[in-house]
Amino acid sequence: MIRVRGVSKRFDGRRGSVEALHGIELDVGDGEFLAVLGRSGCGKSTLLRVLAGLLPPSSGEVRIAGEPVREPRRDVAILFQRPALLPWRSALDNVLLPIVVHGRPRPEHRAAARELLREVGLDAPFHTCLPHELSGGMQQRVALCRSLIQRPRVMLMDEPFSALDALTREELCEVLQRVHMEHGATVVLVTHSIEEAVLLADRVAVLSSRPGRVRTVLGIPVPRPRSLGLDTHVAELARSRAELHELLLADKKTEV
Ligand SMILES: Nc1ncnc2c1ncn2[C@@H]1O[C@H](COP(=O)(O)OP(=O)(O)OP(=O)(O)O)[C@@H](O)[C@H]1O
Ligand SMILES: [Mg+2]
């Protein structure tokens, strides 16, 4: 579904030139969940923006469903760290925003939006709330529904839960896992959390720092649904976690 070939990105700024990504090669299969894991500043967000068509690469090419990416696509949803909801629109109307941009929401769109909100754990009384009446975790649930309303083929997420407390984060990881199992979109999740990567991903691409390169791609051979609590696959999950930890630590050693 996603094919990245030789992608490099260099930023030329006032402080000189920074090479954020170098020679990135990645393939993400249809319906696959890929986590991109790396230390702060290694180029994760840059890679995601290139995949989204928000930033042109300096060299190399990204293809989605066989077509070169040159601008944002309608079948690709993006979820950022902040929910970025419109403060004057209710939760339900925020979910419907992508539909409004392209026309008028019909009753079936409203029904689909309500269903999505229920799926992520927001019941009817919350649908008419304005964003400021919702907690941070609830707002991010609304943002997740907004990215799902157009039934995207691909979902690109940049640390979507990192502004939340640990428990809410865990809860939302479980929601995301369920959503992925039900909707089957191809997902690329950028994170610096080993826990999140191990819980959610089929494979984890570990980026090295400055410039970001794909150091390793590690498969997580654990069936879904997975859980951070008691899981029958607790040993496999722990092994993957330890392996990723080693890879990230090794990266630090080479940096010093
Ligand atoms: N618009 C820009 N102009 C100049 N340099 C940039 C720009 N965007 C990113 N960079 C640089 O590119 C490098 C990678 O940044 P990026 O935001 O992709 O890292 P990251 O892995 O997402 O970090 P974090 O985990 O902290 O979010 C950094 O050195 C950063 O300073
Ligand atoms: Mg980032």
- For residue 173, what are the contacts with CB-CB under 8 A and spacing of at least 6? 161, 196, 199, 200, 228
216-243 pLDDT, tens per residue?
A: 999 998 888 888 776 678 888 889 999 9
123-167 pLDDT, tens per residue?
A: 999 999 999 999 999 999 999 999 999 899 999 999 998 888 888
Q: Give the number of the ligand closest to the Cα of residue 208.
A: 1
Structure tokens at 198: 């191990």
Q: Which residue has the tokens 């702060």?
A: 40
Which residue has its alpha carbon closest to ligand 1 atom 20?
A: 41
More confident residue, 82 or 128: 128
Please state the atom number of ligand 1 nearest to the C-alpha of residue 48: 18
Which residue has its alpha carbon closest to ligand 1 atom 31?
A: 41
List the beta bridge partners of residue 7: 24
Alpha-helical runs (H) found in 153-230: 166-183, 194-200
Which residue has its alpha carbon closest to ligand 1 atom 27?
A: 40
Q: CA 123 to CA 101: how far, in whole Å?
A: 25
Cα of 157 from ligand 2 centre, angstroms: 10
Q: Give the number of the ligand closest to the Cα of residue 12.
A: 1
183-205 pLDDT, tens per residue?
A: 889 999 999 899 999 999 999 99
